[in-house]
Amino acid sequence: MKKTLLAIAVGTVVALPSAALAGPKVYGKVHVTLDSMETEFGADTFPAAGADDWRLNSNASRLGVKGDYDLDVGGLKALYQAEYEINVDDGGGAPLSQRNIFAGLEGGFGTLKGGKFDTVIKTAEGKVDQFNDLPGDMDSFIAGQDRANNIIQYSSPKLAESVTINIATILAEGADVDLDASADPEQGLFDIPQVSVVFERGGLYAALAYAQNSSVATQTADGFTRADIMRLVAQYKIDAFEIGGLFQQASNVASGSDLQDTSMLVSASFSIDRFKLKGQYGMTKGDQSDEELAMMGLGADYQLAKASTAFVYMTKLEKDSTGEENSVFGLGLEHKF
């Protein structure tokens, strides 16, 4: 039923007269892998502990509609996007689930949008994660990789042709997000603020981001659920080489707690003709528990066409305290449209 409704919605949008809705674009990607998986503990992007088999995975394959059109007021432009994750083999959960969906306005002042979409702290990662959307990507061990409900975000125009400032707030809508002793629900407009400053020029990308009372959707070494997060990211590309790094501290917001996780990630790639060789290493360590989560990944991509890639990869995530490991070896195809 959900698939039928989405197909009708997409078809209706595409069929609308261009005068009413200029240039809606249907887009997406199919990102399928055949993976040999073995898991000994639970972690995001991996199946539950106890897996030891071959699996066909969809890896955040998606289908969406997006676009913009001019308004009759103040040189403003309307923005819209409706994006859904699709499970190609219908074996990884619901066949359709919400990803980034929002409505917004764009003008000389910048961009303002509201809905459900990737948070400021998440998007600050840029493209530093060479294994994004695959089992063992940074979502498995670094906090703050959220797609939030009820988020409002302002993004400045590009300043000096290089700098963008992003300011966002996530509405708590009655949830207790500061975890203080009163346990009172938050009802304000700025209970979960986030901000980032992003620099892009030539082959250099750099970002500094901060999130307060952020939900921790991914595993933390010290085991807390909400954190104040500071993240620094840098990536540089020159000719065939690409190198990047991420450093982050996430501090528990609960009253009387000084739990803190420190995370880092380094990645690199080298391209020659149609081939791209890539690798990365990352870890999160709990300052109080000394628990450490460490991830290593290696892979090779082959570009079949501008929007199509075949690849082979392997990643491993290890928990230091128990010696447990999650590992995957996979072959994949990614087709964008």
Q: Is the pTM of this model over 0.75?
A: yes
pLDDT greater than 60 at residue 10: no
CATH dotted code for 25-336: 2.40.160.10
The 8 Å CB, 24+ separation contacts for 153-161 are 153/112, 153/113, 153/114, 153/117, 153/120, 154/110, 154/111, 154/112, 155/110, 155/111, 156/110, 157/108, 157/109, 157/110, 161/201
Domain range list for the chain: 25-336
pLDDT tens digits for range 313-326: 999 999 888 888 99
pLDDT tens digits for range 75-107: 899 999 999 999 887 655 667 889 999 999 999
More confident residue, 183 or 44: 44
What pLDDT score was predicted for residue 178? 62
| Tokens representing residue 314 in the block | 């392997």
